[in-house]
Every structure is written in C-alpha cells, then in structure tokens.
Amino acid sequence: MPAKGAHVAVTADVVVAGGGVIGSAIAWRAAAAGLDVVVVDPEHGDGASLVAAGMLAPASEALFGEGALLRVNLLALARFGSFAAELEEVTGCQVGLRREGTLAIAYDPGDYAALMRLTAFRRSAGLEAEELDRRACRKLESFLTPDVHGGVLFAGDWSVDNRRYAAALRAAMAAAKVRIVRDRATGVLAPDGRARGVALAGGGEISSAQVVVATGCGTSAVAGLPAPLRAAVRPVKGQLLRLRHPDGMPPVITHTIRATVRGADVYLVPRADGEVIVGATQEERGPDRTVTAGAVHDLLRDAMSVLPVTSELILAETCAGLRPGTPDNGPIVGGFGAGNGPGNGHGGLLVATGHYRNGILMSPVTADAIVAFLTGQPPAAEWEPFTPGRFAAGEGSR
C-alpha cells in the first residue's frame, strides 16, 4: 500500500519525485536494475499523462530547426515497441499500440502549400513521406470530406492509448515492488552538496543515495534545483476532447489524422475501443486547467471540417492538462556535470523533465538514460544536447 504523506520517514537507493509516465518508467526500470526505489507523487500519476493523445509521431511532428529533437525522438520510437512488449508481458495489460501511421491532411491550397514545405524538410531529414491527392486520401479514410485538398502519409508514426499505458506502468512498478508515497516533494536535500533525499510537503523526508526529479510542470516548485533550470520549465495548456462511437457504429478512422484547416492544426487519434481523441490546443496561460467553450468549439469545428461524421460521435469527455515546455522545446535529462558521458558526476541529483509534447514517446528512452546514470553507464549519444547544464551551468540553487 502507498505510504501516506504526513511525517513519512523512508530510506531508499533512489527517490523519484514525480509519478507521471516519465517518473513511472524510470522507477520501473530502476527497480528492474536492482535498485530500491520510492516514487513521490500526490496524484499517483494522474497529471499530464492522462490528458494526452498518445501520438508517437516523430515524422509528422518534425519541425524546422529541431534536428537534435528529431534524432532523440527517432531513438525513442525505435525503443518503444520492445519497451511496450515487455510492459505488456510483465503486467498482462494491453497498452493499445497502433502502427497504422499518420495521415496529414491539408484542407485548402494554403494549408497544402504549408504541408508541402514541411514535407520537403522532413524528407531531407530522411523521413518517409508519401504525397497523396484527395482521392488517395479518401481511399485510406473514406469519411474524409471530399473538399480535402490533399495530404501526406507518414507510415512510420505510431500511437498508444495513453491511459492504458500509464496504468500498465503503475502495474509494472507494483510488480517491481516500487514504493509509492502520496505526497509532493518540495525540495532536494543536499546538506553536504550532494543530494541525499527529498523533503515532503506533508512533513518528514525521504533519504536516498540518489534523487531523480521528474516533476514535469511542477519542476519550478522544487527547491534545491538551480534557479535557471526551475525557470526554464513552464506549463503549456492543452485542451482535448474524447469522443465515442454510438453503439453499432463502425470505426470512422483507422489512421491518426493531423489536419491543417485554414492555418489551424487539429488531430484525431483512433483507439481500439472505439474512442477518438480530438486535440489539442497550445495555450500560454500558466497553470490553468479549465476547459473553455471556445476551445471545444474550435476543435469540433476543425475536426468536422475534415471529417464531417465527427458530428455523429458522442462527446464523452472534455479535459485540459499542462505540458512541461522549455525555451527550446527540448527535454531536460541528466545530471549537472559538463556533459552526458560517463564520469561526469551528478552529485546524486538527476533531472528528467521538460518533455513538452513528447512525454509518452520519450518515456522509455528517458528511463534508459536515467538508469544508465544511476548505474554508472553512458546514456545514448542523442541525449547530449539536452543536459540540464544548457540552462543551469555555473548557476547556484535556491
């Protein structure tokens, strides 16, 4: 049973602050490596991980100027299949992994021109992209509007059911005997300059040989981290809709659809259980988790513009979450040495945060990287551009 927060006195090899998909994946893999692990999270992972579409889409999300991020995302996709298979084997839980690919749709000529510019860039990066006219798009997805201008199939993209995946990670932690403390880590304890545990909001502390901060948007509230690093992680609000097919209605889409409608982006992601996720807004509104009528209207309007049958689906849930964004859109993973190679001491303190739109996709390789640090091994070279030092080098903590 998870320990209650008040006046907890616990010791462990590793304490992981944060129980979302990043923290849960790290805790499971660290425990599987033989470490005694405690996870501290007041919500037991019911944060941004549960308000997501679960797209594993490095190709259709690749943007100009983000080459390093693309490389780590491709590493993440290559790892995800085996990680998910082991997760299902250990827990008996299905995570809803789908491999049909992403169909990017342009609604009008202006949208199509923008899509073609991105497609040329993505091909130049070695990504697979098949241009389709409107007839070919509708052959793949028959419910698309006849007005669609054209599209591109990114066959290498996948998706996963984010809620099933998060639940499987929690089951894997339980199977690996990871202990859960339902509380919030308010700060890193480092009495001699080396991390020795965390302080808890409910009183008491957890002593550990190493600390991993995986608190997402809550990173700014964790004392003991360098001030510039705390300031680098900000909440980016995202609102999405969960739709369901009425009884007896066949699935309306099989691919993930990413559409640009008069310059606005919307995506629709199918689930095996008949659910369709529609999302998502990107709003710089601080820690606001309210669902707004305007966002619901805009998402439904754009979804129905490309897939009119959306109007016949049941609006099952509206939700909003907070993505942990950073100034360069890249994650922050590693310790505070000069680099991410072996031999760079991290003072017992590691960070895994700032994954923005890619938390679920990156969770397996983030876990691999952090466990490498914990056990004195080198992480993959793709992580080198994403060290905490790019924000915190030479700065003190507070």
CB atoms within 10 A of CB 204: 16
Q: What does DSSP assign to residue 223?
A: B
- Class of residue 5 by CB neighbours under 10 A (exposed 0-12, middle 13-18, buried 19+): middle
Model pLDDT, residue 346? 74
Model pLDDT, residue 47? 64
256-261 vs 55-56, strand pairing mode: unpaired
**Distance (Å, whole) CA 391 – CA 159:** 31
Model pLDDT, residue 75? 98
**Distance (Å, whole) CA 71 – CA 361:** 13
Secondary structure percentages of the chain, helix, strand, coil, to 5: 35, 30, 40
- The tens digit of pLDDT for each residue in 318-363 reads 999 999 999 999 999 999 754 454 434 578 999 999 999 999 999 9
**Distance (Å, whole) CA 213 – CA 215:** 6
Model pLDDT, residue 345? 54
pTM for the whole structure:
0.94
**Distance (Å, whole) CA 259 – CA 129:** 15
Reading phi first (left if > 0) and then psi (alpha if -120 to 50, else beta), residue 347 is in left
Q: Give the C-alpha distances (Å, rounded to integers) separating 216 from 18, 23, 234, 245.
A: 8, 9, 9, 33
Model pLDDT, residue 44? 62
- The tens digit of pLDDT for each residue in 69-122 reads 999 999 999 999 999 999 999 999 999 999 999 999 999 999 999 999 999 999
Q: Which residue has the tokens 């991993």?
A: 212
Model pLDDT, residue 394? 45
Tally the C-alpha atoms within 13 A of residue 127's C-alpha that lie toward its C-beta.
30
Q: At 27, give phi and psi (nearest 5°).
A: -60, -45
**Distance (Å, whole) CA 209 – CA 129:** 47
* C-alpha closest to that of 229 among 358, 390, 66, 386: 390
Model pLDDT, residue 50? 74
Cis-peptide, bond into residue 201, ω within 30° of zero: no
Mean pLDDT over each residue of the chain, to the nearest integer: 92
**Distance (Å, whole) CA 118 – CA 66:** 12
Model pLDDT, residue 395? 45
Contact 125, 58 (CB under 8 A): no
Task: Give me the residues of the chain with pLDDT under 70, please.
Answer: 1-9, 44-47, 337-345, 392-398
Structure tokens at 68: 């390093």
Model pLDDT, residue 2? 46
Model pLDDT, residue 338? 45
